[in-house]
Amino acid sequence: CTLDGRDLVASAGGDRTVRIWNPHPLEPLYALTGHATDIDQLAFGRLEDGRVVLASASGDGTIHVWDPRTGQPVTTLRGPAGRVTVLVFGQVGQHTALVSGTDQRELHLWHPSSGNLVETVPVDDVPLAVGFGEGEQQELFVLTEKGVAAL
């Protein structure tokens, strides 16, 4: 992610900590804590107000949204059970959306600024990747082991 003209990199894993790094030269900027289990997914995105945020998801059923400028939490999304297998930001109309997919064969559409769960969509298998279509249709594509589907 590029923020205020500088590159940032995020990492996470088994120690339940998200780290934000300056890659040039490699040095840690922030260590973000709050998850109760291993962190499985990270995604950078931009909210409606222009702020860049970082989302982190773990098996504890939470998605934390962070401000990578300050290392402070923005909100915590608490949703349906299941390990998050995919996490991605995209635009739906004029709004920023965050989509999480779980091993429960569901996609969850979130409004990351408010923390509200907007919709839950069942899918035919565990989601492996999600992408937003462009144009007026605003399709959401999901990849599972069974193939690609447009929602």
Domain assignment of residue 128, yes or no: yes
Q: Residue 149 — pLDDT band, cuts 50, 70, 90?
A: confident
Domain assignment of residue 135, yes or no: yes
Residue 137 has what pLDDT? 66
Residue 18 has what pLDDT? 97
Residue 97 has what pLDDT? 93
**CB burial readout 69-79, b (16+ within 10 A) else e:** eeeeebbebeb
- Quote the percentage of the chain above a pLDDT of 70: 98
Q: Are 39 and 13 in contact (CB under 8 A)?
A: yes
Residue-averaged pLDDT of the chain: 91
Residue 136 has what pLDDT? 67
Residue type for position 88: V
Query: Is 135 or 3 the better-scoring residue by pLDDT?
Result: 3
Q: Which residues pair with 89 in a beta bridge?
A: 98
Total structural domains in the chain?
1
Residue 1 has what pLDDT? 84
Residue 2 has what pLDDT? 85
Domain assignment of residue 112, yes or no: yes
The CATH number of the domain where 52 resides is what? 2.130.10.10
Domain assignment of residue 72, yes or no: yes
Q: Are 43 and 89 in contact (CB under 8 A)?
A: yes
- Whether the per-residue pLDDT at 44 is higher than 90: the answer is yes
Tens digit of each residue's pLDDT (9 = 90 or more) over 30-43: 999 999 999 999 99
Q: Residue 104 — pLDDT band, cuts 50, 70, 90?
A: very high
Domain assignment of residue 98, yes or no: yes
User: What residue numbers bound the domain in which 69 lies?
Assistant: 41-150
